[in-house]
Structure 1
């Protein structure tokens, strides 16, 4: 792994660690502070993909995955008010969602890299973010997957409430997922600005 990948590796690791810490802090009724840092992982992956190619992007993804696994292992040893900060379901959901969504992002970006400059980062991030949200929240909180960890009581997430406080009724975790997904989509569009600026600068350096 060459030293030129190091900034991307460090950035991905920092984002994963920060997100694992910030997810412990609520932001309003439906979000955690980690919702605003985690989507930046897609920005890092897309920059690496554009500048250095698919293999570099995949390497950075695997570093992020291993960092997330380490964070989950540490979280299982920290006891909170209702038990360990990271349960088996959360660890499984987080790891599977991250790896699947990021690798999907890499593949879609590579397929679209020949189009207009904004197409690859937009479509890859939107699709990857959608898969990430669906996998994580369903694995971590859906009542249908309680068998994964019967000892973990996630009944609070199954409380039926109006979606985002105003829509039709659904389990609470659905509102959490929709709010998280909305932030990811918004940041995917905002990230186009730093994506364009950073990739232009890096590609000029490697040319």
Structure 2
């Protein structure tokens, strides 16, 4: 491993740890504070991909995945008001969503690398973020996959409510997913600014 990759690995690990902690704290009715830190993982992946290439970017992703697994294992041992802070379904959903979405981000970014500077990070993050949200919330909370963890009662997440309090009736977890997805899309646009600045600093010829 090249020493120049260590900052990316540390940044990814810090984002994963922070997000696992902040997801325990609500922000409004539909979000947690973790929703605002987790999307930064895509920024780290895209910077690594642009500056060092797809291989180092994948190594950073795997480091983040291992960090997430450790956080999940710790979370399963911490009891909250309604049981373990991290259930099996949440652990599976979180790990699988992270790994698939980040690797997809790298593939899309690499395919668009030769275009305008903003196209690869924006499109790859939008695609990865959408897949991440869909996978996590479906695996963690939908009744379709209740066989994954029969003892885990997710009826609260499937309560039928107006979407985001105003739309058509849908399970609560769908509103949570849509709100999370909207934050990811918004941050994907904002992240173009630090992406440009960081890449210019690390590799002026690539900016």
Provide the TM-score with structure 2 as the length reference: 0.98
CA distance in 2, matches of 1:179, 1:46: 23
Match runs of 1:154-193 below 5 Å: 154-193=154-193
Q: Secondary structure at the match of 2:115?
A: coil
Which blocks of at least 5 consecutive residues in structure 1 are unaligned? none
CA distance in 1, matches of 2:82, 2:152: 10
Q: Secondary structure at the match of 1:117?
A: coil
Match runs of 1:13-162 below 5 Å: 13-162=13-162
CA distance in 1, matches of 2:62, 2:205: 25
Q: Secondary structure at the match of 1:105?
A: helix
1:48/1:76 Cα in 2 relative to 1: closer, same or farther (>3 Å)? same
- Alpha-carbon deviation of 1:205? 9.1
1:205/1:8 Cα in 2 relative to 1: closer, same or farther (>3 Å)? farther
Q: Secondary structure at the match of 2:174?
A: helix
- Alpha-carbon deviation of 1:46? 0.1
| Structure 1 residues 166-193: Cα deviation after superposition (integer angstroms, max 9, x where no partner) | 0000000000000000000000000000
CA distance in 2, matches of 1:68, 1:41: 12
- Alpha-carbon deviation of 1:65? 0.2
- Alpha-carbon deviation of 1:204? 3.3
1:205/1:119 Cα in 2 relative to 1: closer, same or farther (>3 Å)? closer
CA distance in 1, matches of 2:93, 2:69: 11
CA distance in 1, matches of 2:55, 2:71: 24
Provide the TM-score with structure 1 as the length reference: 0.98
| Poorly superposed stretches of 4+, deviation over 2 Å | none
